[in-house]
Structure 1
Amino acid sequence: MPIRKKDRTTAISKSIETGKRHPLHYIDSRRYVQHNVNLGDGLGPLLRFFDELPEGSSKVNPVRAFEDGDISFAHIEYHLHGYGHVAGFEVHRWEDDRIVEHWDNLEPVPEEAGSGGRTVFDGPTEPTDLHRTASNKRLAERFVREVLVARAVEALPEFLAGGEFAQHSHRWGDGVEELKRLLTTDDGEDATVHHTLHRVLGEGDFVLTMSEGTVGGVHSALFDLFRLSEDKVVEHWEVVEPIPPRDQWQNDNGKF
Protein backbone atom coordinates (compact mmCIF):
# COMPACT_ATOMS: atom_id res chain seq x y z
CA MET A 1 0.00 0.00 0.00
CA PRO A 2 1.45 3.42 -0.95
CA ILE A 3 2.50 5.66 1.93
CA ARG A 4 -0.04 8.44 2.39
CA LYS A 5 1.06 12.01 1.79
CA LYS A 6 0.23 13.02 5.35
CA ASP A 7 2.40 10.19 6.69
CA ARG A 8 5.27 11.44 4.55
CA THR A 9 4.82 14.92 6.02
CA THR A 10 5.09 13.57 9.56
CA ALA A 11 8.07 11.39 8.53
CA ILE A 12 9.95 14.46 7.32
CA SER A 13 9.40 16.18 10.68
CA LYS A 14 10.26 13.00 12.57
CA SER A 15 13.62 12.79 10.78
CA ILE A 16 14.72 15.82 12.83
CA GLU A 17 14.70 13.43 15.79
CA THR A 18 15.89 10.23 14.14
CA GLY A 19 18.62 11.72 11.98
CA LYS A 20 17.43 9.57 9.08
CA ARG A 21 17.28 11.73 5.98
CA HIS A 22 15.55 9.38 3.53
CA PRO A 23 12.11 11.07 3.97
CA LEU A 24 13.65 14.19 2.46
CA HIS A 25 13.65 12.30 -0.85
CA TYR A 26 9.95 13.13 -1.02
CA ILE A 27 10.97 16.75 -1.74
CA ASP A 28 11.52 17.83 -5.35
CA SER A 29 14.86 19.62 -5.11
CA ARG A 30 14.37 21.29 -8.52
CA ARG A 31 11.05 22.99 -7.71
CA TYR A 32 10.90 23.28 -3.91
CA VAL A 33 9.44 26.63 -2.82
CA GLN A 34 10.00 27.64 0.80
CA HIS A 35 7.54 29.92 2.63
CA ASN A 36 9.32 29.85 5.99
CA VAL A 37 10.81 33.31 5.59
CA ASN A 38 13.56 32.50 8.09
CA LEU A 39 15.04 29.94 5.65
CA GLY A 40 16.51 30.42 2.23
CA ASP A 41 14.64 29.10 -0.79
CA GLY A 42 15.15 25.60 -2.16
CA LEU A 43 16.25 22.37 -0.53
CA GLY A 44 19.80 23.40 0.40
CA PRO A 45 18.96 25.62 3.41
CA LEU A 46 16.61 22.96 4.77
CA LEU A 47 19.32 20.32 4.54
CA ARG A 48 21.75 22.62 6.35
CA PHE A 49 19.20 23.14 9.14
CA PHE A 50 18.87 19.36 9.57
CA ASP A 51 22.62 18.81 9.42
CA GLU A 52 23.39 21.49 12.02
CA LEU A 53 21.20 19.85 14.68
CA PRO A 54 23.37 17.84 17.11
CA GLU A 55 22.55 14.15 17.07
CA GLY A 56 19.88 13.23 19.62
CA SER A 57 19.21 16.88 20.50
CA SER A 58 15.57 17.08 19.38
CA LYS A 59 12.30 15.24 19.89
CA VAL A 60 9.33 15.25 17.51
CA ASN A 61 5.77 14.14 18.24
CA PRO A 62 3.36 14.23 15.28
CA VAL A 63 0.01 14.81 17.00
CA ARG A 64 -2.43 14.81 14.09
CA ALA A 65 -2.10 14.76 10.28
CA PHE A 66 -4.43 15.30 7.34
CA GLU A 67 -4.71 15.35 3.53
CA ASP A 68 -6.69 17.63 1.24
CA GLY A 69 -6.15 16.91 -2.43
CA ASP A 70 -2.58 17.85 -3.33
CA ILE A 71 -1.94 19.24 0.17
CA SER A 72 -0.86 17.38 3.31
CA PHE A 73 -0.63 19.09 6.68
CA ALA A 74 0.25 18.12 10.23
CA HIS A 75 0.08 19.44 13.79
CA ILE A 76 3.46 18.71 15.39
CA GLU A 77 4.95 18.93 18.87
CA TYR A 78 8.67 19.73 18.80
CA HIS A 79 11.42 19.83 21.38
CA LEU A 80 14.02 21.52 19.18
CA HIS A 81 17.66 22.17 19.97
CA GLY A 82 18.07 25.91 20.33
CA TYR A 83 14.33 26.58 20.19
CA GLY A 84 12.81 24.65 23.11
CA HIS A 85 9.26 23.28 23.29
CA VAL A 86 7.43 24.36 20.13
CA ALA A 87 4.02 23.79 18.53
CA GLY A 88 3.91 23.79 14.76
CA PHE A 89 1.85 23.26 11.66
CA GLU A 90 3.63 21.86 8.61
CA VAL A 91 1.95 22.16 5.20
CA HIS A 92 3.18 20.56 1.96
CA ARG A 93 1.92 20.87 -1.61
CA TRP A 94 2.57 17.93 -3.93
CA GLU A 95 3.04 17.59 -7.68
CA ASP A 96 3.90 14.32 -9.43
CA ASP A 97 4.14 12.63 -6.02
CA ARG A 98 6.86 15.01 -4.83
CA ILE A 99 6.72 17.98 -2.46
CA VAL A 100 7.13 21.25 -4.35
CA GLU A 101 6.03 23.84 -1.78
CA HIS A 102 6.15 24.24 2.02
CA TRP A 103 4.49 26.48 4.58
CA ASP A 104 4.79 26.30 8.35
CA ASN A 105 3.97 28.18 11.52
CA LEU A 106 5.84 27.72 14.81
CA GLU A 107 5.21 29.01 18.33
CA PRO A 108 6.75 28.34 21.77
CA VAL A 109 4.46 26.23 23.96
CA PRO A 110 3.34 27.98 27.16
CA GLU A 111 4.35 26.34 30.43
CA GLU A 112 0.79 26.23 31.73
CA ALA A 113 -2.46 25.03 30.17
CA GLY A 114 -5.06 27.56 29.10
CA SER A 115 -7.91 28.72 31.29
CA GLY A 116 -10.02 25.80 30.07
CA GLY A 117 -7.44 23.34 31.41
CA ARG A 118 -6.52 22.03 27.97
CA THR A 119 -3.05 21.93 26.44
CA VAL A 120 -2.24 23.18 22.96
CA PHE A 121 -2.05 19.56 21.73
CA ASP A 122 -4.63 17.39 23.50
CA GLY A 123 -8.02 16.42 22.11
CA PRO A 124 -9.17 14.20 19.20
CA THR A 125 -6.52 13.35 16.62
CA GLU A 126 -8.15 11.26 13.87
CA PRO A 127 -10.50 12.81 11.29
CA THR A 128 -14.04 11.49 11.09
CA ASP A 129 -17.05 12.39 8.92
CA LEU A 130 -14.90 12.30 5.79
CA HIS A 131 -18.00 12.71 3.62
CA ARG A 132 -18.50 16.18 5.17
CA THR A 133 -15.08 17.57 4.30
CA ALA A 134 -16.33 20.05 1.71
CA SER A 135 -19.23 21.36 3.79
CA ASN A 136 -17.03 21.65 6.90
CA LYS A 137 -14.45 23.64 4.93
CA ARG A 138 -17.15 26.01 3.70
CA LEU A 139 -18.49 26.48 7.24
CA ALA A 140 -15.03 27.09 8.74
CA GLU A 141 -14.21 29.57 5.97
CA ARG A 142 -17.41 31.47 6.68
CA PHE A 143 -16.65 31.43 10.41
CA VAL A 144 -13.24 32.99 9.84
CA ARG A 145 -14.43 35.53 7.28
CA GLU A 146 -17.64 36.58 9.04
CA VAL A 147 -16.70 36.20 12.71
CA LEU A 148 -12.92 36.43 13.08
CA VAL A 149 -12.24 38.91 10.25
CA ALA A 150 -15.48 40.93 10.03
CA ARG A 151 -16.15 40.46 13.79
CA ALA A 152 -19.85 39.89 13.36
CA VAL A 153 -20.51 38.89 16.97
CA GLU A 154 -24.21 38.57 16.25
CA ALA A 155 -23.44 35.68 13.87
CA LEU A 156 -21.94 33.46 16.61
CA PRO A 157 -25.12 31.41 17.26
CA GLU A 158 -25.05 30.25 13.64
CA PHE A 159 -21.59 28.73 14.05
CA LEU A 160 -21.40 27.63 17.70
CA ALA A 161 -23.65 25.16 19.52
CA GLY A 162 -25.00 26.98 22.57
CA GLY A 163 -22.14 27.92 24.86
CA GLU A 164 -19.95 24.98 23.84
CA PHE A 165 -16.56 25.82 22.39
CA ALA A 166 -13.55 23.77 23.56
CA GLN A 167 -10.52 26.03 23.44
CA HIS A 168 -6.86 24.93 23.30
CA SER A 169 -5.38 28.40 22.87
CA HIS A 170 -3.59 29.85 25.87
CA ARG A 171 -4.87 33.28 24.75
CA TRP A 172 -8.57 32.45 24.67
CA GLY A 173 -10.84 30.91 27.30
CA ASP A 174 -13.63 28.39 26.78
CA GLY A 175 -17.10 29.21 25.57
CA VAL A 176 -18.95 31.79 23.56
CA GLU A 177 -18.68 34.64 26.07
CA GLU A 178 -14.90 34.48 26.01
CA LEU A 179 -14.94 34.53 22.23
CA LYS A 180 -17.19 37.59 22.29
CA ARG A 181 -14.67 39.30 24.56
CA LEU A 182 -11.88 38.48 22.14
CA LEU A 183 -13.82 39.85 19.19
CA THR A 184 -14.52 43.15 20.93
CA THR A 185 -10.96 43.72 22.20
CA ASP A 186 -8.42 45.41 19.94
CA ASP A 187 -5.63 46.16 22.41
CA GLY A 188 -3.52 44.26 24.93
CA GLU A 189 -0.66 41.83 24.41
CA ASP A 190 -2.97 38.93 23.48
CA ALA A 191 -5.46 40.90 21.36
CA THR A 192 -5.89 38.75 18.23
CA VAL A 193 -7.13 40.31 15.00
CA HIS A 194 -7.57 38.36 11.75
CA HIS A 195 -7.20 40.56 8.67
CA THR A 196 -6.85 38.25 5.65
CA LEU A 197 -7.73 34.58 5.12
CA HIS A 198 -5.25 33.01 2.69
CA ARG A 199 -5.98 29.27 2.63
CA VAL A 200 -8.53 26.70 3.87
CA LEU A 201 -7.59 23.02 4.17
CA GLY A 202 -9.58 20.15 5.60
CA GLU A 203 -10.16 16.46 6.07
CA GLY A 204 -13.39 15.27 7.59
CA ASP A 205 -14.26 17.13 10.77
CA PHE A 206 -10.92 19.03 10.93
CA VAL A 207 -10.27 22.28 9.03
CA LEU A 208 -7.07 24.35 9.05
CA THR A 209 -7.24 28.02 8.07
CA MET A 210 -4.11 30.07 7.33
CA SER A 211 -4.64 33.78 8.00
CA GLU A 212 -2.71 37.00 8.34
CA GLY A 213 -3.35 39.49 11.12
CA THR A 214 -1.95 40.88 14.34
CA VAL A 215 -1.48 39.67 17.90
CA GLY A 216 -0.82 42.43 20.40
CA GLY A 217 -0.37 44.75 17.43
CA VAL A 218 2.41 42.57 15.93
CA HIS A 219 2.08 41.47 12.30
CA SER A 220 1.53 37.71 12.55
CA ALA A 221 0.58 34.51 10.76
CA LEU A 222 -2.41 32.84 12.41
CA PHE A 223 -2.93 29.14 11.71
CA ASP A 224 -6.24 27.97 13.24
CA LEU A 225 -7.33 24.34 13.40
CA PHE A 226 -11.05 23.80 13.96
CA ARG A 227 -13.01 20.64 14.68
CA LEU A 228 -16.61 20.67 13.54
CA SER A 229 -19.58 18.54 14.50
CA GLU A 230 -23.10 18.64 13.05
CA ASP A 231 -22.50 21.93 11.25
CA LYS A 232 -21.06 23.71 14.29
CA VAL A 233 -17.53 24.72 15.30
CA VAL A 234 -16.85 22.83 18.54
CA GLU A 235 -13.07 22.91 19.14
CA HIS A 236 -10.06 25.09 18.30
CA TRP A 237 -6.26 24.89 18.30
CA GLU A 238 -3.90 27.59 17.03
CA VAL A 239 -0.28 28.39 16.27
CA VAL A 240 0.66 32.06 15.95
CA GLU A 241 4.01 33.32 14.69
CA PRO A 242 5.21 36.91 14.20
CA ILE A 243 6.13 37.75 10.61
CA PRO A 244 9.50 39.52 10.55
CA PRO A 245 10.01 42.77 8.61
CA ARG A 246 10.48 42.28 4.89
CA ASP A 247 14.16 43.22 4.97
CA GLN A 248 14.84 40.27 7.31
CA TRP A 249 13.34 37.60 5.06
CA GLN A 250 15.68 34.89 3.79
CA ASN A 251 13.57 34.26 0.67
CA ASP A 252 11.22 36.25 -1.56
CA ASN A 253 8.26 33.85 -1.48
CA GLY A 254 6.37 35.37 1.45
CA LYS A 255 4.74 33.64 4.40
CA PHE A 256 1.61 32.67 2.45
Structure 2
Amino acid sequence: MKTTLLATLVASSALLSACTSTSVSEPSAMISNKDKAVAVLNSIETGDTKAISYINSSNYTQHNLAVGDGLAGFGEVLHALPKGSAKVKVVRAFEDGNYVFTQTDYNFFGPKVGFDVFRFDNGQIVEHWDNLIAKADKPNPSGHTQLDGALTVTDLDKTAENKALVSEFFNTVLVKGDYQKMPQFFDGDHYIQHNPAIGDGLSGLGKAIDEMAQHGIKMTFTKVHKVLGEGNFVLVISEGTFAGKATSYYDLFRVDNGKIAEHWDVMETILPKSEWKNTNGKFGNL
Protein backbone atom coordinates (compact mmCIF):
# COMPACT_ATOMS: atom_id res chain seq x y z
CA MET A 1 0.00 0.00 0.00
CA LYS A 2 2.85 2.39 0.85
CA THR A 3 4.56 1.85 -2.49
CA THR A 4 1.26 2.27 -4.30
CA LEU A 5 0.53 5.49 -2.45
CA LEU A 6 3.98 6.89 -3.11
CA ALA A 7 3.69 6.05 -6.80
CA THR A 8 0.28 7.67 -6.91
CA LEU A 9 1.58 10.78 -5.21
CA VAL A 10 4.39 11.18 -7.69
CA ALA A 11 2.46 10.10 -10.79
CA SER A 12 -0.50 12.31 -10.00
CA SER A 13 1.63 15.40 -9.43
CA ALA A 14 1.52 16.57 -13.03
CA LEU A 15 -2.21 15.99 -13.30
CA LEU A 16 -3.07 17.71 -10.03
CA SER A 17 -0.80 20.67 -10.76
CA ALA A 18 -3.33 21.83 -13.32
CA CYS A 19 -6.12 21.95 -10.73
CA THR A 20 -7.63 25.32 -9.96
CA SER A 21 -10.58 26.38 -7.82
CA THR A 22 -12.86 25.73 -10.81
CA SER A 23 -11.41 22.30 -11.55
CA VAL A 24 -12.04 20.81 -8.14
CA SER A 25 -14.98 18.43 -8.48
CA GLU A 26 -18.25 19.61 -7.02
CA PRO A 27 -18.49 16.79 -4.42
CA SER A 28 -14.97 17.67 -3.22
CA ALA A 29 -15.81 21.37 -3.12
CA MET A 30 -18.75 20.59 -0.84
CA ILE A 31 -16.46 18.99 1.75
CA SER A 32 -15.32 21.39 4.45
CA ASN A 33 -11.64 22.27 4.76
CA LYS A 34 -11.71 20.71 8.22
CA ASP A 35 -12.89 17.38 6.79
CA LYS A 36 -10.27 17.55 4.04
CA ALA A 37 -7.47 18.04 6.55
CA VAL A 38 -8.73 15.13 8.65
CA ALA A 39 -8.91 12.96 5.50
CA VAL A 40 -5.29 13.75 4.64
CA LEU A 41 -4.17 12.81 8.14
CA ASN A 42 -6.20 9.60 8.10
CA SER A 43 -4.63 8.65 4.76
CA ILE A 44 -1.32 8.16 6.57
CA GLU A 45 -2.89 5.05 8.11
CA THR A 46 -5.42 4.00 5.47
CA GLY A 47 -3.52 4.81 2.27
CA ASP A 48 -6.64 6.50 0.87
CA THR A 49 -5.39 8.12 -2.33
CA LYS A 50 -8.52 10.28 -2.73
CA ALA A 51 -7.17 12.57 -0.03
CA ILE A 52 -4.28 13.46 -2.34
CA SER A 53 -6.65 15.63 -4.37
CA TYR A 54 -7.04 17.89 -1.34
CA ILE A 55 -3.35 18.83 -1.59
CA ASN A 56 -2.13 21.27 -4.24
CA SER A 57 0.65 19.21 -5.82
CA SER A 58 2.33 22.14 -7.56
CA ASN A 59 2.18 24.52 -4.60
CA TYR A 60 2.55 22.67 -1.31
CA THR A 61 4.98 24.14 1.22
CA GLN A 62 6.20 21.92 4.03
CA HIS A 63 7.43 23.32 7.37
CA ASN A 64 8.18 20.07 9.13
CA LEU A 65 11.94 20.38 8.90
CA ALA A 66 12.46 16.61 8.83
CA VAL A 67 10.35 16.23 5.67
CA GLY A 68 11.22 17.18 2.10
CA ASP A 69 9.21 19.93 0.45
CA GLY A 70 6.17 19.39 -1.72
CA LEU A 71 3.96 16.40 -2.35
CA ALA A 72 6.96 14.21 -3.11
CA GLY A 73 8.41 14.88 0.34
CA PHE A 74 5.16 13.78 1.96
CA GLY A 75 5.18 10.62 -0.14
CA GLU A 76 8.77 9.76 0.84
CA VAL A 77 7.83 9.87 4.53
CA LEU A 78 4.88 7.55 3.96
CA HIS A 79 7.12 5.18 2.04
CA ALA A 80 9.62 5.06 4.93
CA LEU A 81 7.02 4.01 7.52
CA PRO A 82 7.30 0.35 8.56
CA LYS A 83 4.45 -1.64 6.99
CA GLY A 84 1.26 -1.51 9.05
CA SER A 85 2.83 0.68 11.74
CA ALA A 86 0.99 3.96 11.10
CA LYS A 87 -2.01 4.75 13.30
CA VAL A 88 -3.90 8.04 13.22
CA LYS A 89 -6.73 9.24 15.45
CA VAL A 90 -7.66 12.89 15.07
CA VAL A 91 -8.97 13.89 18.49
CA ARG A 92 -9.78 17.56 17.86
CA ALA A 93 -10.14 19.60 14.68
CA PHE A 94 -10.82 23.32 14.31
CA GLU A 95 -11.17 25.83 11.50
CA ASP A 96 -10.19 29.50 11.46
CA GLY A 97 -10.55 31.22 8.09
CA ASN A 98 -8.21 29.52 5.60
CA TYR A 99 -6.54 27.53 8.39
CA VAL A 100 -7.40 24.17 9.92
CA PHE A 101 -5.62 22.99 13.05
CA THR A 102 -5.83 19.53 14.56
CA GLN A 103 -4.68 17.57 17.58
CA THR A 104 -3.88 13.95 16.81
CA ASP A 105 -2.95 10.69 18.50
CA TYR A 106 -0.30 9.13 16.23
CA ASN A 107 1.74 6.03 15.86
CA PHE A 108 4.20 7.59 13.45
CA PHE A 109 7.68 6.14 13.87
CA GLY A 110 6.52 5.43 17.43
CA PRO A 111 3.63 6.72 19.59
CA LYS A 112 3.33 10.49 19.36
CA VAL A 113 0.97 13.37 20.07
CA GLY A 114 0.89 16.12 17.49
CA PHE A 115 -0.61 19.38 16.37
CA ASP A 116 -0.96 20.01 12.64
CA VAL A 117 -1.83 23.29 10.93
CA PHE A 118 -2.95 23.42 7.29
CA ARG A 119 -3.46 26.51 5.14
CA PHE A 120 -5.97 26.26 2.32
CA ASP A 121 -6.23 28.21 -0.91
CA ASN A 122 -9.14 27.64 -3.29
CA GLY A 123 -10.14 24.51 -1.40
CA GLN A 124 -6.73 22.84 -1.51
CA ILE A 125 -3.98 22.50 1.08
CA VAL A 126 -1.00 24.65 0.13
CA GLU A 127 0.97 24.77 3.37
CA HIS A 128 1.58 22.64 6.48
CA TRP A 129 3.15 23.18 9.90
CA ASP A 130 3.29 20.76 12.84
CA ASN A 131 4.71 19.96 16.26
CA LEU A 132 5.24 16.42 17.52
CA ILE A 133 6.26 14.89 20.82
CA ALA A 134 6.61 11.34 22.13
CA LYS A 135 3.43 10.13 23.81
CA ALA A 136 3.76 9.91 27.59
CA ASP A 137 3.38 6.44 29.06
CA LYS A 138 1.37 7.60 32.07
CA PRO A 139 -1.01 10.41 33.10
CA ASN A 140 0.23 13.66 34.66
CA PRO A 141 0.19 14.33 38.44
CA SER A 142 -3.53 15.18 38.24
CA GLY A 143 -4.44 12.05 36.27
CA HIS A 144 -4.93 13.71 32.89
CA THR A 145 -3.43 12.49 29.61
CA GLN A 146 -2.08 14.60 26.76
CA LEU A 147 -5.29 14.12 24.78
CA ASP A 148 -8.29 13.69 27.09
CA GLY A 149 -10.55 16.52 28.21
CA ALA A 150 -13.18 18.74 26.61
CA LEU A 151 -14.03 18.18 22.96
CA THR A 152 -17.09 20.32 22.22
CA VAL A 153 -16.64 23.61 20.39
CA THR A 154 -18.91 26.31 21.85
CA ASP A 155 -19.15 30.12 21.90
CA LEU A 156 -18.51 30.59 18.18
CA ASP A 157 -19.56 34.22 18.57
CA LYS A 158 -16.69 34.74 21.03
CA THR A 159 -13.85 33.45 18.85
CA ALA A 160 -12.20 36.87 18.39
CA GLU A 161 -12.68 37.73 22.08
CA ASN A 162 -11.13 34.43 23.22
CA LYS A 163 -8.20 34.79 20.83
CA ALA A 164 -7.53 38.27 22.20
CA LEU A 165 -7.63 37.00 25.79
CA VAL A 166 -5.18 34.18 25.15
CA SER A 167 -2.91 36.45 23.10
CA GLU A 168 -2.77 38.96 25.93
CA PHE A 169 -1.98 36.21 28.45
CA PHE A 170 0.74 34.74 26.27
CA ASN A 171 2.46 38.01 25.43
CA THR A 172 2.10 39.60 28.87
CA VAL A 173 2.93 36.63 31.08
CA LEU A 174 5.01 34.21 29.06
CA VAL A 175 6.86 36.45 26.59
CA LYS A 176 7.32 39.54 28.77
CA GLY A 177 7.54 37.54 32.01
CA ASP A 178 5.02 39.57 34.01
CA TYR A 179 3.91 36.61 36.14
CA GLN A 180 2.20 38.86 38.69
CA LYS A 181 -0.59 39.38 36.16
CA MET A 182 -1.14 35.66 35.63
CA PRO A 183 -4.08 35.28 38.10
CA GLN A 184 -6.25 37.73 36.13
CA PHE A 185 -6.48 35.25 33.27
CA PHE A 186 -7.69 32.32 35.38
CA ASP A 187 -10.64 31.45 37.62
CA GLY A 188 -8.64 30.97 40.79
CA ASP A 189 -7.03 27.54 40.85
CA HIS A 190 -9.67 25.99 38.56
CA TYR A 191 -7.46 25.10 35.64
CA ILE A 192 -7.16 21.68 33.96
CA GLN A 193 -3.67 20.79 32.81
CA HIS A 194 -2.73 18.14 30.21
CA ASN A 195 1.04 18.66 30.11
CA PRO A 196 2.38 15.23 31.16
CA ALA A 197 4.67 16.70 33.83
CA ILE A 198 2.42 19.35 35.41
CA GLY A 199 -0.56 19.12 37.75
CA ASP A 200 -3.81 21.07 37.66
CA GLY A 201 -4.25 24.70 38.65
CA LEU A 202 -1.91 27.64 38.95
CA SER A 203 -0.53 25.86 42.01
CA GLY A 204 0.54 22.92 39.83
CA LEU A 205 2.13 25.24 37.30
CA GLY A 206 3.97 27.13 40.03
CA LYS A 207 5.28 23.88 41.50
CA ALA A 208 6.57 22.76 38.11
CA ILE A 209 8.32 26.08 37.51
CA ASP A 210 9.99 25.88 40.93
CA GLU A 211 11.15 22.32 40.28
CA MET A 212 12.63 23.30 36.91
CA ALA A 213 14.47 26.19 38.54
CA GLN A 214 15.90 23.85 41.16
CA HIS A 215 17.34 21.71 38.37
CA GLY A 216 18.65 24.71 36.44
CA ILE A 217 16.12 24.31 33.63
CA LYS A 218 14.89 27.53 32.09
CA MET A 219 11.94 27.88 29.71
CA THR A 220 11.63 31.04 27.64
CA PHE A 221 9.11 32.32 25.09
CA THR A 222 10.54 34.89 22.70
CA LYS A 223 7.97 35.32 19.94
CA VAL A 224 4.36 34.47 19.16
CA HIS A 225 4.02 33.52 15.49
CA LYS A 226 0.33 32.69 15.14
CA VAL A 227 -2.89 32.63 17.14
CA LEU A 228 -5.74 30.55 15.72
CA GLY A 229 -9.12 29.84 17.24
CA GLU A 230 -12.60 28.48 16.88
CA GLY A 231 -15.10 29.34 19.58
CA ASN A 232 -13.78 28.36 23.01
CA PHE A 233 -10.53 26.80 21.71
CA VAL A 234 -7.42 28.85 20.90
CA LEU A 235 -4.04 27.62 19.60
CA VAL A 236 -0.87 29.67 20.08
CA ILE A 237 2.24 28.88 18.03
CA SER A 238 5.41 30.38 19.48
CA GLU A 239 9.13 29.87 19.82
CA GLY A 240 11.71 30.17 22.55
CA THR A 241 14.13 27.93 24.38
CA PHE A 242 13.88 25.02 26.78
CA ALA A 243 16.96 23.93 28.70
CA GLY A 244 19.02 26.07 26.33
CA LYS A 245 17.69 24.47 23.14
CA ALA A 246 15.68 26.27 20.45
CA THR A 247 12.10 25.12 20.91
CA SER A 248 8.79 25.32 19.06
CA TYR A 249 5.74 25.60 21.33
CA TYR A 250 2.17 24.73 20.35
CA ASP A 251 -0.28 25.54 23.16
CA LEU A 252 -4.01 24.83 22.94
CA PHE A 253 -6.30 26.56 25.43
CA ARG A 254 -9.98 26.18 26.23
CA VAL A 255 -11.63 29.37 27.44
CA ASP A 256 -14.70 29.38 29.67
CA ASN A 257 -16.55 32.56 30.68
CA GLY A 258 -13.60 34.79 29.82
CA LYS A 259 -11.01 32.74 31.72
CA ILE A 260 -8.48 30.11 30.66
CA ALA A 261 -9.89 26.79 31.84
CA GLU A 262 -7.87 24.02 30.16
CA HIS A 263 -4.51 23.55 28.43
CA TRP A 264 -2.80 21.05 26.13
CA ASP A 265 0.66 21.50 24.62
CA VAL A 266 3.42 20.04 22.49
CA MET A 267 7.03 21.20 22.79
CA GLU A 268 9.46 20.24 20.04
CA THR A 269 13.18 20.93 19.84
CA ILE A 270 13.93 22.69 16.55
CA LEU A 271 16.33 20.77 14.35
CA PRO A 272 19.69 22.43 13.58
CA LYS A 273 19.88 23.75 10.04
CA SER A 274 22.36 21.06 9.07
CA GLU A 275 19.54 18.50 9.44
CA TRP A 276 16.78 20.39 7.61
CA LYS A 277 15.24 18.62 4.61
CA ASN A 278 13.60 21.80 3.36
CA THR A 279 14.46 25.50 3.55
CA ASN A 280 11.01 26.82 4.50
CA GLY A 281 11.66 27.31 8.21
CA LYS A 282 9.71 25.99 11.17
CA PHE A 283 7.55 29.13 11.37
CA GLY A 284 7.82 30.41 7.79
CA ASN A 285 4.81 32.42 6.52
CA LEU A 286 2.92 32.21 9.82
TM-score, normalised relative to structure 1: 0.94
Aligned 8 A contact 1:153 1:180 in 2: no
Corresponding residue of 1:90: 116
1:25 aligns with 2:53: yes
TM-fit CA distance, 1:146: 0.8
Moved more, 32-41 or 199-208: 32-41
| In structure 2, C-alpha distance between the alignment counterparts of 1:147 and 1:141, rounded to whole Å | 10
| In structure 2, C-alpha distance between the alignment counterparts of 1:126 and 1:44, rounded to whole Å | 35
Corresponding residue of 1:221: 248
| In structure 1, C-alpha distance between the alignment counterparts of 2:198 and 2:73, rounded to whole Å | 35
Please give the secondary structure, in 2, of the residue aligned with 1:25.
helix
1:166 aligned to which of 192, 195, 198: 192
1:207 aligns with 2:234: yes
1:147 aligns with 2:163: no
Q: 2:64 is aligned with what amino acid?
A: N
- Flag the structure with larger Rg: 2
Q: 1:178 is aligned with what amino acid?
A: G
1:20-59 residue pairs with structure 2 within 5 A?
20-59=48-87
Moved more, 125-134 or 67-76: 125-134
TM-fit CA distance, 1:55: 4.0
1:123-138 residue pairs with structure 2 within 5 A?
123-138=149-164
Please give the secondary structure, in 2, of the residue aligned with 1:251.
coil
Corresponding residue of 2:4: none
Corresponding residue of 2:107: 79
Q: 1:155 is aligned with what amino acid?
A: K
TM-fit CA distance, 1:5: 1.1
Aligned 8 A contact 1:34 1:101 in 2: yes
| In structure 1, C-alpha distance between the alignment counterparts of 2:49 and 2:217, rounded to whole Å | 38
Corresponding residue of 2:97: 69
CA deviation string 1:123-159 (max 9, x = no partner): 1112111110000000011111111112211112210
Corresponding residue of 2:262: 235
| In structure 2, C-alpha distance between the alignment counterparts of 1:19 and 1:188, rounded to whole Å | 45
| In structure 2, C-alpha distance between the alignment counterparts of 1:191 and 1:5, rounded to whole Å | 38
| In structure 1, C-alpha distance between the alignment counterparts of 2:232 and 2:257, rounded to whole Å | 9
Q: 1:196 is aligned with what amino acid?
A: K
CA deviation string 1:187-224 (max 9, x = no partner): 74864322211100000000000010122222110100
Gaps of 5+ in 2: 1-26
1:106 aligns with 2:132: yes
CA change 1:191–1:165 in 2 (3 A) is farther
| In structure 2, C-alpha distance between the alignment counterparts of 1:127 and 1:193, rounded to whole Å | 30
Identical aligned residues as a percent = 41
| In structure 2, C-alpha distance between the alignment counterparts of 1:223 and 1:186, rounded to whole Å | 22
Corresponding residue of 1:244: 271
Aligned 8 A contact 1:153 1:183 in 2: no
CA change 1:189–1:99 in 2 (3 A) is farther
Answer 1 or 2: which has greater helix percent.
Answer: 2
CA deviation string 1:98-147 (max 9, x = no partner): 11110000000111111111000001112111110000000011111111
Answer 1 or 2: which has greater strand percent.
Answer: 1
Gaps of 5+ in 1: none
Corresponding residue of 2:35: 7
**Superposition RMSD in Å:** 1.7
CA change 1:39–1:174 in 2 (3 A) is same
| In structure 1, C-alpha distance between the alignment counterparts of 2:246 and 2:124, rounded to whole Å | 32
